[in-house]
């Protein structure tokens, strides 16, 4: 009963915050980017709570539950994901997006690379894989509610999806960022609290490892239970990199750079993100390990955290964890849906079908997509539900492999052109899809994300040679985004060279009586 | 080392420290860049 009361209070609070901030949306820039007014604390927490989805409470713990410490390859990279993203892209993307007047991450790529095809292909990849990603969140919400309330999965799924959709369509970007901010705080407090409780049950980290070592010493190894991935460094590196650098390719995450108050916001946000990640990211993976010790007969590994909450920490702690899980799911799902909807409305509907579309019409199109994804997600989840881990890693990897190279090249290489960017996007996506579908990581010992990233980078280098250089206007914009200044020595040299002419001009003006 | 093999300990549990140090270095670097861009 207490779970339901806490959950209802939490939902009411989030709806109120969403409603309060949605009233501030006056222009399209307000609706899509919060008027570019987001400060460092909110930028950091909206970025991190959006990045950490239901995966963190289902997929990550399931991995350590099945494989032991091997799952920490994913966690170690994830801790630095926000820092890497903000340090590499933050400041430059903020500047360039404003110089180009771009309001969505796809519009940004189109304007940077001066190419309409990028919008078509980028929108297609984004909408399809952001939707896959959000379906993973729907399934996570259904599974969580099923465990903690005892309702059948289909009923739990309907309620979970209904809550997510209703809550998302109630506000714009600013509302999403501020609710994410509070959800980020709930997530870290809830998770950290449960971790301390869990560790105290198993005699701390040392007690936990001793227990695991007695059950099967390979749980403690770098290579998984039964040394499943023994010395497969390609798999380990891919697992480390997917969340360390992968966020730079996610449209719903990089849009946070575009909405920052100023380029200076990035440095403080990077520090806040790292602190938050250090406190949060390891916890669910450790809970997966605790599950091995306390719930060895659990049937569905993805249910290890909800099951721990339900069976080991009943009452207020269970309610706290339920709220934290739903906060993780909702803070990611609302951003995914908001981004997919914005891309469909702004980059597809307004760009190609109705250039004079009003904001009201665009919001309607955006909500139509949210509804369609919801219906499709429910059908898929009921008929043949994929694992949260599988669908999230697949969607995440495909988005990352498509967009990382074009986003980084956009602000670090002024000669990056549309042919190189298109080749990188298409080859990265296709490689990840083929690698995952064919389970090629088993035969090649290379993670699908790493394979896609390598292919995307190589294709960019090769095909960029065949394209024309961007216009001078774009090159100048990229240089301004880089913050390139004329070196001080050159400035003083120019001043010395121009001095005689400046004096002559001043003398002429005095003689003509133009100046005093 | 918390009952873990040394390899697992160093590969997994040293990373929070590495990321925290990197965050401080990034902060310092970005502050310097800002000063240089503002011509101070």
Scored b (16 or more CB within 10 A) or e, A370-396 reads beebbeebbebbeeebebbbebbbbbb
User: Which pLDDT tens digit goes with each residue over A121-143?
Assistant: 999 999 999 988 888 888 888 88
Distance CA A279, CA A268 (A): 17
Mean pLDDT of A277-298: 93
Domain ranges for chain A: 2-385, 489-516
List pLDDT tens digits, range A79-104.
Answer: 999 999 999 999 999 999 999 999 88
| pLDDT single digits (tens) A192-219 | 888 888 899 999 999 999 999 999 999 9
The confidence band for A515, taking pLDDT boundaries of 50, 70 and 90, is very low
pLDDT score of A83: 95
Minimal Cα distance from A81: which residue of B?
Answer: B19
Point out the residue among B3, B8, B27 whose CB comes nearest to the CB of A221. B8
Instruction: Identify the CATH number of the domain defined by range A2-385.
Output: 1.20.1730.10
What's the gap in Å between the CA of B32 and the closest CA on chain A?
A: 11
Q: What is the pLDDT of residues A381-436, one digit of tens each?
A: 887 677 877 888 899 899 999 999 999 999 999 999 999 999 999 999 999 999 99
Residue A402 CA to residue A132 CA, distance in Å, equals 15
ipTM of the complex: 0.93
pLDDT at A493 over 60: no
HSE toward the beta carbon, residue A390, CA cutoff 13 A: 9
Write down the mean pLDDT value for chain A.
Answer: 86
**What's the pLDDT score for residue A218?**
95
pLDDT at A445: 86
Is the confidence at residue B22, as pLDDT, over 90? yes
Which residues 1-40 in chain B show a CB within 8 A of chain A?
A: 2-5, 7-8, 11-12, 15-16, 18-20, 22-24, 26-27, 30-31, 33-34, 36-37, 39
Nearest-CA neighbor of A71 among A242, A298, A294?
A: A242
The verdict on a CB contact (< 8 Å) between B37 and A264 is: no
CB A319 within 8 A of CB A3: yes
In chain A, what's the furthest Cα-to-Cα distance? 97
């Amino acid at each position: 009963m207490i779970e339901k009361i806490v959950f209802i209070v939490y939902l009411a609070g989030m709806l109120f915050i969403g409603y309060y901030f949605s009233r501030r949306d006056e222009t399209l820039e307000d609706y899509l980017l919060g008027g570019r007014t987001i400060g460092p604390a909110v930028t950091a927490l909206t970025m991190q709570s959006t990045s950490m989805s239901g995966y963190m409470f289902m997929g990550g713990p399931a991995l350590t539950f099945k494989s032991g410490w091997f799952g920490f390859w994913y966690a170690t990279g994830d801790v630095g994901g926000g820092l890497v993203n903000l340090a590499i892209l933050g400041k430059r993307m903020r500047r360039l997006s404003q110089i180009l007047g771009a309001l969505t991450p796809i519009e940004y790529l189109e304007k940077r690379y001066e190419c309409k095809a990028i919008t078509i292909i980028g929108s297609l990849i984004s909408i399809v894989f952001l939707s896959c990603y959000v379906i993973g969140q729907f399934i996570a919400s259904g599974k969580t509610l099923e465990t903690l309330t005892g309702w059948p999965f289909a009923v739990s799924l309907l309620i979970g999806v209904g809550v997510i959709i209703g809550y998302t369509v109630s506000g714009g970007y600013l509302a999403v960022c501020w609710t994410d901010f509070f959800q980020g705080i709930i997530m870290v407090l809830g998770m950290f609290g449960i971790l301390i409780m869990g560790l105290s049950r198993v005699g701390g980290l040392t007690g936990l490892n001793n227990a695991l070592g007695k059950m099967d010493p390979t749980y403690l190894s770098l290579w998984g239970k039964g040394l499943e991935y023994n010395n497969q460094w390609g798999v380990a590196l891919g697992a480390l990199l997917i969340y360390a650098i992968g966020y730079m390719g996610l449209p719903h995450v990089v849009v946070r750079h575009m909405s920052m108050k100023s380029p200076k916001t990035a440095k403080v946000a990077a520090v806040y993100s790292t602190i938050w990640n250090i406190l949060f990211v390891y916890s669910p993976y450790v809970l997966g390990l605790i599950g091995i010790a306390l719930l060895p007969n659990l049937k569905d590994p993805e249910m290890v955290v909800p099951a721990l909450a339900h069976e080991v920490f009943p009452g207020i702690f269970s309610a706290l964890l339920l709220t934290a899980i739903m906060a993780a799911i909702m803070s990611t799902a609302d951003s995914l849906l908001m981004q997919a909807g914005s891309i469909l409305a702004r980059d597809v509907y307004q760009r190609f079908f109705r250039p004079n579309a009003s904001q009201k019409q665009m919001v309607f199109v955006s909500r139509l997509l949210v509804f369609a994804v919801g219906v499709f997600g429910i059908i898929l989840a009921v008929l043949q539900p994929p694992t949260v881990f599988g669908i999230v890693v697949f969607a995440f990897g495909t988005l990352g492999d498509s967009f990382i190279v074009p986003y980084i090249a956009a602000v670090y290489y002024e000669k990056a052109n549309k042919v190189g960017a298109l080749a990188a996007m298409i080859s990265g996506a296709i490689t990840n899809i083929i690698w995952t579908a064919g389970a090629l990581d088993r035969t090649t010992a290379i993670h699908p994300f790493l394979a896609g990233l390598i292919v995307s980078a190589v294709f960019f280098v090769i095909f960029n040679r065949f394209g024309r250089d961007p216009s001078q206007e774009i090159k100048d914009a990229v240089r301004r985004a880089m913050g390139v200044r004329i070196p001080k020595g050159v400035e003083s040299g120019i001043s010395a060279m121009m001095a005689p002419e400046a004096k002559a001009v001043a003398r002429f003006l005095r003689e003509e009586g133009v100046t005093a | 080392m918390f009952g873990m093999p040394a390899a697992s300990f160093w590969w997994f549990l040293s990373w929070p420290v590495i990321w925290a140090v990197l965050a401080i270095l990034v902060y310092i670097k970005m502050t310097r860049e800002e000063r240089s861009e503002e011509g101070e």
